[in-house]
């Protein structure tokens, strides 16, 4: 039985790079067939994503209408379950690594890929995204706030309860700094202000996990009801962002 082709969106403005990637993914007797759609700008890519579904996307980080991490954040905000592999030049490898910390499934360096590596990267990215989606679906049902924070303190995921604590929608939180300290162990009590409800005490704890190929911290935000007690409280006067970074005002 023939396998259904994978639908791939290639977002790349350099026609030579487009030809190379299409050549690598052309059917040559082995590997799952792939149906490739192309877009030369981020705006065109968003238009295609609005019209149809794709199994994965390869996204160049140097597009004429969008450059760098902003391109990934725009895609991830609107289509969070889409597996994205970022495509970049060797000199931009640090940016590609940052992209992994913001939810990209993998990164590809121009001039350093071949047909076997590219096919393997795409298939593995799809599988990792499927596993990540299952994990995030579990977090979504949790009544406690759950936030995934990358090593630089930027938010990669927040469930509905966490969005309520933070007072912003998930798409607005993506890529922003978490405004609370994350302890190495135990919990820390912080105070937040909720309009019309006075002060709310929140217990925050964190655990180190692997998510989308990157070691991140999974934070739990739990309200301490009036008269209740935290399991383990470590009081701090200032709410600092993880890893010593100063939160933006």
Using CA atoms, how far apart are residues 137 and 235, in angstroms rounded to an integer?
A: 32
Decide if pLDDT at 239 tops 60.
no
**3-state SS, residue 232:** coil
Summarize pLDDT for 165-183 with one digit per residue, the tens: 888 998 899 999 998 778 8
**184 vs 135, 158, 234, CA distance in Å?**
23, 20, 11
Q: Which residue has the tokens 């979504």?
A: 140
Q: What is the CATH number of domain 142-244?
A: 3.30.450.20
The answer to whether 181 and 236 are in contact (CB under 8 A) is yes
CATH match for 6-137 among 3.40.50.2300, 3.90.470.20, 3.50.50.60, 3.40.50.180: 3.40.50.2300
Which one is predicted more confidently, 168 or 233? 168
Q: Would you state the pLDDT for residue 230?
A: 52
Note the pTM of the prediction, 2 decimals.
0.76
Q: Where are the domains of the chain?
A: 6-137, 142-244
């Amino acid at each position: 039985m023939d396998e259904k082709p994978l639908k791939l969106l290639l977002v790349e403005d350099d026609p030579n790079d487009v030809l190379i990637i299409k050549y690598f993914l052309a059917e040559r007797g082995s590997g799952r067939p792939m149906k490739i759609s192309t877009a030369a700008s981020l705006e065109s890519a968003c238009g295609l994503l609005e019209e149809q579904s794709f199994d994965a996307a390869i996204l160049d980080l140097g597009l004429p209408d969008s450059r760098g991490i902003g391109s990934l954040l725009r895609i991830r905000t609107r289509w969070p379950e889409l597996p994205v592999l970022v495509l970049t030049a060797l000199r931009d490898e640090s940016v590609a690594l940052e992209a992994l910390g913001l939810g990209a499934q993998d990164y590809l360096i121009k001039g350093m890929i071949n047909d076997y590596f590219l096919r393997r990267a795409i298939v593995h990215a799809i599988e990792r995204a499927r596993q990540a989606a299952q994990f995030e679906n579990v977090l979504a049902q949790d009544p406690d706030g759950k936030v995934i924070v990358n090593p630089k303190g930027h938010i990669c995921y927040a469930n509905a309860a966490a969005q309520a604590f933070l007072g912003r929608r998930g798409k607005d939180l993506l890529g922003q700094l978490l405004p609370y300290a994350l302890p190495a162990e135990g919990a820390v009590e912080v105070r937040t202000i909720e309009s019309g409800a006075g002060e709310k005490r929140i217990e925050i704890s964190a655990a180190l996990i692997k998510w989308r190929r990157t070691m991140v911290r999974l934070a739990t935000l739990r309200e301490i009801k009036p008269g209740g007690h935290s399991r383990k409280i470590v009081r701090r006067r200032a709410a600092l962002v993880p890893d010593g970074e100063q939160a933006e005002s």
